[in-house]
Amino acid sequence: MIYRKATFEDIEAIFKLVTDYAADGVMLARSRNTLYETLRDMIVAVTDEGEIVGVGGLHIIWDRLAEVRTMAVSPKMTRQGIGAEIVRRLIREGEHLGVEKVFTLTYKPGFFQTLGFQTITKEELPHKVWKECIDCPKFPNCDEIAMVKV
């Protein structure tokens, strides 16, 4: 498995991964526009055959605060450590930038717990986190679980 920064050529594969999970209600949809705007945030997992089978992004929110988002692994490749490796790489990238706190909003808390994240209340996150929520179809009734890396 090759892990690398996402490129423009990866957008359609990322969009398909995210859209398939969003259709099942297990992650929020992302528009192509959002994926292009956050391209530099993302890492992809690519098979030896060149197929993108995983993606995750580290989005800087505020001073030393970042969010793990757009986390998806192809259903045929789950439970092989791909998602965990993407998150570990994102956290390392954040550490190099000086990030001190990493959080996520997720429907899969068990996955993030295995990586050292703990559930918190949404109110414990700074207001800066919610600036993009206004565009979410679930706003203001967010049902994602807030977690922070300890």
How confident is the prediction along the chain (150 residues), in pLDDT tens digits per residue?
999 999 999 999 999 999 999 898 888 889 999 999 999 999 999 999 999 999 999 999 989 999 999 999 999 999 999 999 999 999 999 999 999 999 999 989 999 999 999 999 878 887 666 666 656 666 556 678 899 997
CA distance 43 to 68: 11
Q: Helices (DSSP H) in 2-146: which residue ranges? A: 11-23, 32-37, 82-97, 109-113
Residues in CB range of 37: below 8 A, 6 or more apart: none
Nearest alpha-carbon partner for 144 in 82, 75, 67, 73: 67
Domain 2-149 sits in CATH at: 3.40.630.30
Label the pairing between strands 42-46 and 52-62.
antiparallel
- Output the CA torsion sign for 31, 32, 37, 41: positive
User: Residue with structure tokens 């920064």?
Assistant: 5
Model confidence pTM above 0.95: no
CA 14 to CA 35: how far, in whole Å? 8
- Domain residue ranges in the chain: 2-149
pLDDT value at position 129? 64
